[in-house]
Amino acid sequence: MGESMIEEKLPVLKVHMLGGFSMEYGDKPISFRRNTATKSMKLLQILLHCGEGGIARGKLLESLYGREELADVANNLRVTSHRLKKMLVDAGLPEYDYIQIKSGIYRWSSPMEVEVDVHVFSNLVNSSKTETSEDKKIQLLKSACWIVNSKLNNFFKVILPVLNWCQVTERGMKSVIVKPIHIISKPQF
């Protein structure tokens, strides 16, 4: 099913996680209608955020269900995964096995290129750390901040909720976001 889709050029799936969650497939916004606060949507966001590294099953179960008293958590995860796959197709994405499980690690997989703003941001910041040219470093950090700033007209309407969100992630996103803002806000003489 997936190989023929990869051969044909599919539109890019753009995922916006900074300043609120939304997705675009090509130039069309993806609408999940009333399904925006479901476990399936939470699963989607977790998988997209974790990227190629994926997430261990135990950690995924904890993230999705926490301390909920469920009779069969494994079955609930299967049902949630199935609902997510159906939601994606109903929203206009091609039929595909989007959730890959290998050695207890759950990963997002898709037949199209996926661009996640959080990953683009992190890549720009990480590139700036190894850049030796101050001008190029500043440009990389400005590009990273532009990603965040472009979400809303008022920069701090985005930054403050993002910083709260970052406090609960393990990736230390708070320091990743704050440092470039501090560096580019210094006067350049």
- Overall size of the chain counted in residues: 189
User: So what's the pLDDT on residue 173?
Assistant: 52
What pLDDT does 175 receive? 57
Return the pLDDT at 75: 83
Residue 127 is predicted with a pLDDT of: 92
- When the pLDDT of each residue in the chain is averaged and rounded to a whole number, the result is 78
Average pLDDT over residues 156-166: 48
DSSP strand pairing (22-25 vs 13-16) = antiparallel
CA distances from 59 to 74, 97, 171, 174 (A): 13, 21, 14, 21
Q: Please, which pLDDT band fits residue 14 given cuts at 50, 70 and 90?
A: very high
Taking only the tens place, the pLDDT of each residue in 31-52 is 887 766 688 999 999 999 998 8
Give 137-156 pLDDT, tens digit per residue: 888 888 887 777 665 444 44
Give the rounded distance of the alpha carbon of 114 from its chain centre.
10
CATH fold of 2-112: Arc Repressor Mutant, subunit A (1.10.10)
